[in-house]
Structure 1
Amino acid sequence: MSEQQANTARQGIDRVDLRRLREPLQTSLDAAEAALIDYSRDIQRREPLLHCLWSVHHITAALGALRLHKAEMLALEMERGFLRLLRGDVVAERRNLVMGGLMRAIKTLPAYLDHVEQLRLDSGRGLEPCVNDLRRWAGEVLRPPALFFHFPLPVDCGIARNAQRPSEEAIRRGADVMLAPYLQGAKGVLGSRPGAESARTLARIAQKMHGFMTGTVQEPFWLLLIALCEALAAELAEPDECIAQIFKAGAFMVKYAREHGSAADPAMDYPAYIQQALYYMAACPVQPLYVAHVWKVFGLTGHTLRDAQRGLIHSDALLAACNAAAARLAGLIDTLEQADMEAVATGRAPRPEEAVGQLQGIRLRLIAAGEEQLAEDLRGAGDLLEQLCAGRLAEHPGRCRQAVLTLARTLVETHLAVSRRVLLHGEPSSVAPSFAVQAPLIFATSARLHQLQEQLQQGDDDELRQAAADDLDSMEQALALQGMLRPAAVAGLLGRWLAAAREPFTTDEPAAMHFAQALAWLSLYFERLGLDPAAAPEQHESLLDAAECEAGGLQPAPEAADAAPSQPTAEPAPEERTETIPAAFREVFLEESQEIIARLQSELPAWVAAPARDDRLREIRRHFHTFKGNGNAVGLFTLGDLGRDVQDLLDRVLEGQHPMDPALPGLLEEVLEALPELVATCGGAGDFDAGRVRDLRNRCMNLGQGGADGR
């Protein structure tokens, strides 16, 4: 994967998480709408505005958790709007304008979330008028439209292939020399009296940086910055908040290059700044040298801005158009079947009235639903229908019969495609065609797996286990019939193990733990497959890999009660159990753990130098909380327990339950010193030191309870 692809992947939206939150988000929007209408009837009452603020606050928090930062920007403006109404900051006509803007925003958010689901990207399309109208009526500076611009780009667009660039040492030296003049030039451009000379200075520096970064993910940014400075020097663009952020990002890139050469900064969101710079290029009324080059490289046209600012369409409207098209198409098929089109073509039967007009109406609905290809197919079917009804093929029986068959096949295939889109809740009909056939089984399997988990958690007896085993066996057969062999094999293995179990078992038993975790992974696989059939296959397969890994760890089921007892064996202590990471998650776990360790190594020394119950300690606690969750998520419960014990210790410290122990900084340093080796051994590099983990855990627990550090 290229660096640019990696950045894009980090920006991607998890559609499953979004769909899970759509219902509570819509509930909050409905509550805010009802309260706003209630307030409009009596503006002297303030209680409805409090309800609005409460609902929108939940929306803002949910959008932030989903990393939909542009949608969150609108939600924050909605909060400010309701707060202004509550405080009486806007009156008379301005109050009415703010209320109208808030209602518009409430209606826009669902359509925008539909758009995000389809695009899997927080593009900002359609939000700029809502955000800026609310700011305009409050007398605040408007947000730059560039913040809400998105233009789809091919992978590696603007990056030269097989490029030659200077040595890393030359790049570091050059960046070191250019940092100061870059900052001075940016200050001159953004000053109260911006000058063309400062813009030209910045352009020359950007041109040198572009040469340094040829062939890297930074190259498109510097090319765009050259053109942006050209536009500023020619007064084709004006400095604003967004341009200031672009210049600031450029300064950080120069500083990073001074230390790391041509390496990409993992903390820099290159695609976001590229999109913002592209807006200013697309908005240029004329194209001087570098701006014209950017238009050519990135594929900008005179319609780019117009297309990016198109309004949003709610998915309900699209589904309504699809439903109407499917219903009318089914009716038209029935009508034509009853009419006997061969007889109609030869004049032996009356032509079906208004059939051609009905087909045209169906085409228009498909166009409205975004199904241009299906609408185009119906255009050809309409031509055939018109020829048959006009009797133009009456003298050619062979051609007439072929035309009737072609018409019937086109109408039936189109009806199936439209019905599939309705079944997929608005997904394009070209997405996962097999899913339309498998969807009923996938939804039913997901629901039944959830039920099985709940039933097995409530009790344990022979009858319950046998019923669950029978369900898993039936599930295996149904999945196999649909060609879903891998999940069928997992379900079959789980069913056979459960059917052989005769004695009560608990989740403390290793085999029972493997069974429970395999069942959970399989359930999650079907849940995500049903919610997001268009996701990349590897996203679903990683869940199935985990289910197969857990199912593969099942030992022979507990023997019957009357069987001869086996020779007892000593169970390893919980801290010393051998734990492995499923192959699908090993690389991700190691990468994320190394990032957490790097952050701790950056923050802990500063806190140790001046220990206090401060934000830095809270950040350290948050990193151990993340480490705990990551360990438990991949089955490394020993490391997860270590992270939990450190988190619990820091929770007690932050809550001030007792004075901060002088041994705390040293203990945290020892834990951090141990983490890199412990994480590396979990990836297969050496033997896992369970005794060291046990010692650190005991010391954390002792210190957390107010005792000695337990060294």
Structure 2
Amino acid sequence: MGNHHDSIALDWVRGEIQDTLTQSQHALEAYVENRDDTARLRFCLNYLHQVHGTLQMVELDGAALLTEEMEALTQAVLDGQVANADEAIEVLMQGVLQLPQYLEHLDSSGDDFPLVLLPLLNDLRAARGANLLSDTSLFKPDLSPAQQPADAGASARLQDPKVAGHLRKLRQMYQFALAGVVREADLNTHFDYMQKVVERLARLCRKTPRGELWKAAGAFVETLQAHANPINTAVKSLLRELDAEIRLLMADNSDALAQPVPEALFKHLLYYVARARDLDTPQVRALRDAYRLDEALPSEDDVDHARTRVSGPGRDAIHSVVTALDEELARLKDQLDLFVRAETRQNSELEELLPSLRQVANTLGVIGLGTPRKVVSEQVELLERLSAQADTVDDGTLMDIAGALLYVEASLAGLDKDRHPEQGQDGDDNEPVNLSARELTEASEALVRESRNTLEQVKSSIVNFIASQWDTREIDHVPGLLYSIRGGLSLVPLPRVADMLAAAERYVTDVLLGSKQVPDWKQLDTLADAITSIEYYLERLAEGISNNDAILHVAEESLENLGFPVGQEPTWTDTQAEEQPQPETSETEAPVEAPSETDASKDTSGSDAELLDDEILEIFVEEAGEVLETINQYYPQLRQNHDDSTALTEVRRAFHTLKGSGRLVGASSIGELAWSVENLLNRVIDQTVKPTDDMFSLIDEVNERIPSLIQEFRHGEANGDVEALIARAEALATTRKTETAETLQTETAEATAGQETSAASVHETDDFPDAEPDTESETEYEPEPEPQATTEPAQEQETGDASADHDDLIDDEILEIFIEEAGEVLETIREYLPMLLRHHDDRSALTEVRRAFHTLKGSGRMVGANVIGELAWSVENMLNRVIDGSIFMNDDIARLLEEVTENVPGLVEDFEKRTAPRLDTSSLEARANALANGEIPDATLMPEPETESVPSQEATSASTGSLPEVEEELDPVLLEIFENETETHLQTIDEYLEQAGDRHSVAYTDSLSRALHTLKGSANTAGIKPIATVITPLEHFVKEARAQNKRYWD
């Protein structure tokens, strides 16, 4: 909250201030009537000056600032320096009238925060042409902790040459991280680096004013990491100012630590930390407590609430309005009483009450009493209907109207007696409500009494509902009754009870009225327990009995058992809806189903119309329509704002639902097209692909095509040709967009794994600031395009030079950061890898493990730990292939992950000790590259020099029709094994060809590639060279086609 003040000092001077303000108001009014009488305006100026001096004396900063601006504007009017004198005088009068209300607010709350007055202050400044104030200019935290003198020997720290070297490296790392933040690329990684630098600077500057600055900077960076503050131009400017502070430490190594903190920068850092109210880390919490940030920057709700009180009518005005309303309500009750007692009644006579009631409703709205106003408005509507009907109005209805007017009268009595009902709303709604009769005002007692009477009506209605064999007409009005009760109880305030009634209201509406199901007795007993508990609580409250919280717990548990927990989303589901097939059940199978689109095609090729009855078809069409509505709602938001995570999630979920329901009913074209888009959006969500114009262009076309596909399926027509759209989606999902890239991939695919690794080691390691690639390049899953055999010697030399440069740059501080980060990465891997090994389809664990190796790659390359960095890159690249669906998680990948995880700590230790790596990682990298290309590692690592070197000449032989002769002597055991295995693999190939059928194109599957690869290896092992010679180029072709997303018959 704001600065908290004792109201005693204000009480001493408040009367004098009020009198002086009244005199200034009269003087200003006299000037308005006669603009030539400037003496009156000078009197007004003198009165305001007196008030300003008094407020400064009692240290009411917000009120004093308001009078200071009023003085300045009055002087500007006197000097003729305002553009519009009429506007200026109007704003000045507004300030004179609003200051007493602000002082009234101070008297009741004791909190003085100028933010409440910010709109009025800016109006005053704008009237005289001054610059406007921002909330940061009114942000005044307690800076005393940062104003303590530095320790005596602190300045000597910067004179150490080693420290100067560390500062240079730290600034270099900070600038590297800052560049990434400015580009908004890979923010998590760059914020991690930035945080590590700031932590070390805070340790270096400990027990000095500059140490407090870096503590604030650390908390500020934490708020950015947690997305509690936006990364906008102002934030980037502050981060650049922090870079300048590091430069200051490097340039002035004598007394920099003894200098005071730069107040403007420091306050801005604290301001952003204060804004992050939902962030509660130890660092942020410590800073918030030390500088009393919650008091310096009140919440928006607190400010809005205070502004409402300050800008609303004062006590005297409220008293006058309430008195007038009481008189009007008394007259209306008398009129109603006379109508009831009359021997002959004419319904048209009720119209005489309507004008006065409408006036009462409008007045209640002006003074902010929403619930009483709603009650009066309901009576107006009721009287309009009654006056128009032919039947005589019964006494019961008229008594209900009189009771409503009594309720309004009681509410006004409570408001006039003490205007503090809102104070109770500041507390936690979940805290036990322990009010007694003495604490209840007259209005509160009336509310509780009426609420108990209405609950009796609710119970009677439910009894009638049961007796009438579930006739819902008996309970149609129950939601309205419950709504009227909770509206009143919110004013008492009893917000917890009001929330319970809201849950009960929703149960009656959704279950008893909405679902049209016959409730069981257990449900009705539970509902009765909830209502009875609330009624009993109100009864005990009216009798002055405290400690009633246990009774409310019974009501809460009852409502939770009904599926409508208090203050939360309902957990109840319509059992009829649950009986329908739910497409969501296929969610975990989605990655596995993607390549098997031929299955759906085969199963539904000619019998869709026979298998589907009209009811299932209508369910699918209806659900597809709902899905399209969701897409039409959220997709334009995503197209406009690519960072709208909510819209992205909703659009992805919509395509997921469409995929599941389409596959479920055999609409294979719709299902597979939806899956291709869902897979693409999955890649966007896990940040391995960035949204592009090509992607949105594709989704535009898909959205246009789906309605016609639905209609075609509904009328039993052949599935539309969507293969081109699916192919485009798959190409975008694997970031292969151009024919040039495909050609380059084909040219480089035959390079050995060792060459790829060597070239990758050279890539992006030349210079420290540029060591980390951009996000776009990181997410490309292609092998690095640079490798060329002819330039390898030069590259090796360049690598050596780069390594030497890096060795020169690495000092203990930077090394410590890398070691610490590597430890954190390994902890993450050890946490999530077991989950992934247990469940290969755990996408969350897969994403975390991939992200960990990505971080290890970046930090390893940055500090020159190339062995670690390139090993991590090979694993990351392999996991990228798993994420994009090019390969599937399997036991070979799992074993490789375990081996790499076991060996990384030793490699880190070797790098820390500057010794040669204890392990040659080329075999691990080769296995990772092989697995990433869809190969079987056991076969990949087998010595096959003859087989791999033969294709060119043997292929030539094959093309001329002559194959090498089979070796005369074959091992009979190996031959028998080969024959048995061949039958299985040939069956797999036949199944693929059969599934392909007459389709225009179909994707090459993992099972086909595996069958060809194993068949080739078995043939080589058995010594049957002709078969190996035929299979080798075929396997190579399928592998390349899968890598480039080419399809069968393309």
Q: How would you bin the TM-score normalised by the shorter chain?
A: 0.3 to 0.5
TM-score (norm. length: structure 2): 0.27
Structure with bigger gyration radius: 2
TM-score (norm. length: structure 1): 0.38
The structure with higher relative contact order (CA 8 Å, sep 6+) is 1
